[in-house]
Structure 1
Amino acid sequence: MSQRTMAVVGTGVIGNGWIARFLANGHRVFAYDPAPEAEANTRRMLDDSWSTLVQYGIHKDASKDNLTFVQNLEDAVAHADLIQENVPERETLKKQVLASIDHHAKPDAIIASSTSGYMPSVLQEACVKNPERIIVAHPFNPVYLIPLVEIAGGKQTAIATINEAKQIYDELNMKPLVMSGEIDGHIGDRLMEALWREALHIVNDGVATTEEVDKAIVYGPGLRWALMGPFLTLHLAGGNEGMKHMLEQFGPALKLPWTRLIAPELTEDLKKKVIDGTSAQCGEISIADMEHRRDRFLIKLMGLLEEEGFWPSERVLAYERNIDAVDR
C-alpha cells in the first residue's frame, strides 16, 4: 500500500476519527475546520488515542507528524487523493461545502461524505465540475476502530469511483459495504434509529430505566448480533429448518402491535429521564475513561471475530504483517 494524501474537512468527532485512521495507516493528512480550537482538539484526541491505535496495529510509517492543519478549504483538498467531508448534518451546508470541494479538488480525487442521513444523489446536485466522483462513505464511531463504512453512489456517480473507493477503504483495514442502491439514513443508522425509538418509548412509558434497556441488549441480543446480525440470528432460531420454520412459526407475530416505531415527543420529562439515567450509569467514571474501556473491548471483540473466522478480509491481529507484505 503506497502512501496517499488524504483531506479531512470538518474535524468534529467523526472527522477526528478519520484523521486518526488515516494517520495510523501511514498516510499524509491535510485538515480544515474554521473553528478556533479545532487543531488543538484534534491533536489532543490523537495524543489520547494513539496508544490504542498502536495496540490495534499501525503502519510502519504511521506518525502524528503526518497531519497538517491549513487555513482554508482549497489548501486542504488541492492535492488529496481522498477527501472526507464531515460538516454538520444540514443539507444546504453540505451541498455548499461539497460544491466548493468539487471545484478545488484535482479531477481524479474521490470526494466522500460521512453523512449519516443524506443520499449521494442529493449531495452531488450542486457539484458541476466532476459529480461522478461524489459518494457517501458513512462510518461509525469510533471511526479509528469500527471497521464498517457504508458506501453509496448517486445517480451521477461512476462505477469506477465506487470500485476505487472500496479498494482504498479496504486498505484502511475497514469493511466497506457497497450498498445496492441509495436510501435516506443508509443501512446501519436506519436499524439503530428503529431500536433507539423503541428504547425511548420504553423509558418514556416508565417500563424500564436507561440502564435496564442497555442490559437487555448487552446481555441478550447484542451478544448474538456481534457475531451474526439479525437475519442469521433468527435463521438459527428456526432450528434445523432455519428461517423457513422461523417465518412460519413467528411470522404472524409481526402483525402484533408490540412496536411503536413512530418517535416519541422529546419532552423535557423524557430528556431528564434519559440524561439522568445515563449519568447514573456512568457514575464517577469520566467520558474519557468510558471511551478507553469501549476501545479496549472493541479490540478484544474484533480479535475474537477473527479467531472465530468471521473476519473475512484483512486480519486485525496480523494487520501490520499484512501491510508490510503488500509494501514489498
Structure 2
Amino acid sequence: MTGPIDFDEMLAKVAPDNPNRSFLLKSLIEIRAGQDDQALMTRLMTGLVMKYAESERQLNRLNAELREKQEHLDADLKAAAVIQTALLPKPLPAASNVRAAWKFVPCQSIGGDVFLLTPLGKRYLMVAVVDISGHGVPSAMVTVSVCQFLQPQAGTVFQPGAGPDGAVVPPGQVLASLDREFPYFRFKKTFSIFYGVLDRVTGRFTFANGGHPQPFLQTPDGALTTLEEHGPIIGMGLGSTFPEGSLTLSPGSRLTFYSDGLTECRNPSGELFGDDRVRDLLAAHHALPLPDLAAAIHAGASRFVAGAGFPDDFTLVHLEFAGPPASPA
C-alpha cells in the first residue's frame, strides 16, 4: 500500500447487516487514528524545527547586539581608567621639604578613588583623598568634576591675589561647598573626602574630613595617633559646617591617608583588614623610606586577601615633612 487508505470506500463495500461490519469499523478507526497521529507528529515536529530555527536566528542576533554593547562598555571602561590614571598627581620636586609616596591600584570595574597633591601658590600644599560611591563610568565622571572643583585656578580652594602668599580657603569651607555643589539628587552619588592644607614653612597642617577613613600621624619615634576630627559624607546635605582640625608637624613627622579599599578588603574567611592592621604595619615599618613603606603595606594587604585581589580601588598616600625650608618658600 503506497497511498493513504480511503476508509469511506472500504466501509461502503461492507453490507450494513454484515456481522463483521462492527469489527471492521473498529479496525478502520484504529488505523485512521494511527495515521492521524503520524500526521500530527509530523506537523508538530516540523513546527518545532521551524521554531527552533527562528529562535536560533533571534539568539544569534541578540548575541551580536550583546557583543557590540560589551565592546562599547569595555571601551568606556578603558577610557574611564585612562581618565582616572591621568588625574593622579605628579611627583613632588626632589628639593621640596615635603616628601610623598603612594600606592594606587584601581579595581577591575573602575572605582571612584582619586587623590591630589597640589601646590597652592609657593607656600602651601593641598592634599585631598576622595572616594566616590559606586564603580564604572558614572563614578569616574563625578571624580573628574570633583577634581576640577578642587583645582587652584577654580577659585574654590585658593585665592592667589590675596596677600604675598595668596589666601587658602579653610578646609571646612571647601567641604561645605562640595556638599552644596554635589547633591545626591543631581548626581546619584555620594563621596567621602579627606582634605588638608600644609604650610610648608611652619609645618602647620589644617584639615577637614567628610566621612573618610581617619588618617594616621606618625612622629619620628614611630608613635601613632589618628586625626579624629570628622564630618558627614558629601552629597547628602547633612553638613552645613564641617569641623576642622589642625596640628604642627615636627621634622620627620609623617601622615598616612588611605581609602576604604584598604581597610575593607577581606581574607578568604570574610574578615576585614581593618584600621588596626594598617596601624600595625605602620608601626612595624616606620623606619622605611616612604616608597618602601607604601610597598610594605600593600604587600601586607595582598597577603591578607590571599591572592583574591581588591574589590575596590586601593589608595594609600604618605606625606613626610622634612622641616622648614632653608629659605622662605
TM-score of the alignment, normalized to the shorter chain, above 0.5 = no
Specify which structure has the higher proportion of helix: 1
- Give the greater-gyration-radius structure (CA): 2
TM-score by length of 1: 0.27
Specify which structure has the higher proportion of strand: 2
